Amino acid sequence: MNEKSGYLMPKSSLNDQPAMQGNGFYNENSDLQKAGIDQFIPIWRDLVESINLGANDAIIADYASSQGKNSLSPINIAVDSILSKNPKPTCISVIHIDLPSNDFSSLFETIKKNNNSYLNNHSNIFPFAVGRSYFDQILPSDSVDIGWNSWSLQWLNATPANIDDHIFIDCTEIINLKNLFSRQLALDWEQFLRCRSKELKIGGKLMTIFIASSSHASGWGPFWNEFWLTLLELRNFELLSDKELTLISLPIGIRSIEDIKQPFNKNNIFANLKLENLNIIDAPDPFWEEYQITSDPKAYGLKWANMAKAVAGPMISNVLNTTQNSKCPLNDIFTRFADRLSSNPFKVKHSLACVVVEKIN
């Protein structure tokens, strides 16, 4: 039961977080995420160069692959590094992991057809996919040489509650809710690390990139606030109900550098994982940068709204389906959001954390 509003949220809906917008929509609208990943490629190169493969076979795990496009560059870099150090034919398994509701058809199409696919020009490389949550151990113990994970750990394993007065936890006035989300973030971080520790070989390494907070960037609040104002407008036109407004809550949270360090406070080690690198950077806003060149506010608004639809569309669709007889089609919400953003373009000042860990024993 949601205490403030009294709306009953089915337990399954609260806990079953949907994947990204399907039919390749996330692939087509994830340039923001790609721009963030690109910032950390030098750290990733160093990581893969430092891995010593005991045998000729290697396993690369791609945790939260979504539809695969943004995984291709990092996996190519890992594959090239492994092959350059191992002159004998090496068998490399690439395991893509995501939630059961992920659009795995688009993932396999991408691996098969994208010009940047790691299958091009290489033999003895075998892609696999696993449709399970990474908050469980999902690969055999001591099997993974290199782990990649980007833009997913802000999604909570379980949504603690609906956010009654906003869509985004950083913008709520309800302190108790903030505490519930913070607690879940801490539990999830430790659980993710524990599970990866089981799966990594000794000497294996994992890099994870996720949304973080920093003292000098405003973060995602201003962006999601524009979305919230769009929803309020739709409610004022009686196109969305109060109930729908309450149920539309982003199941995400943002960690600070202290939150990220917390499990490693003793000797820089947690669950046999040594913290090797931790960076928080100001991440790029490629749509704002493009707008500086084109002065095209419509393109700016559309790109940002499509990014939001790619990540939040399925959650909102679930709410509209749950409430039934919804008067507002999903596309109308995002068209209105695009118009709103176009009318007042601004730079989204957000931050990303990059963490590298090594399994030590």
Ligand X SMILES: C[S@@+](CC[C@H](N)C(=O)[O-])C[C@H]1O[C@@H](n2cnc3c(N)ncnc32)[C@H](O)[C@@H]1O
Least CB distance from residue 32 to ligand X, whole Å? 9
Map residues 75-104 to x or -, x wherever contact with ligand X holds by CB under 6 A.
----------------------xxx--x--
- In Å, the largest CA–CA distance within the chain is 67
Work out which of 59, 302, 305, 311 binds ligand X, going by CB under 6 A. Answer: 311
151 near ligand X, judged by CB under 6 A = yes
Nearer to ligand X, 72 or 240 (CB): 72
Work out which of 134, 223, 227, 304 binds ligand X, going by CB under 6 A. Answer: 134
Nearer to ligand X, 155 or 220 (CB): 155
199 near ligand X, judged by CB under 6 A = no
66 near ligand X, judged by CB under 6 A = yes
Least CB distance from residue 25 to ligand X, whole Å? 12
Nearer to ligand X, 259 or 339 (CB): 259
Least CB distance from residue 134 to ligand X, whole Å? 4
Interface segment toward ligand X; rule CB under 6 A; list 6-14, 127-135, 235-243, 286-294: 127-135
Work out which of 30, 90, 110, 249 binds ligand X, going by CB under 6 A. Answer: 30
Least CB distance from residue 157 to ligand X, whole Å? 6
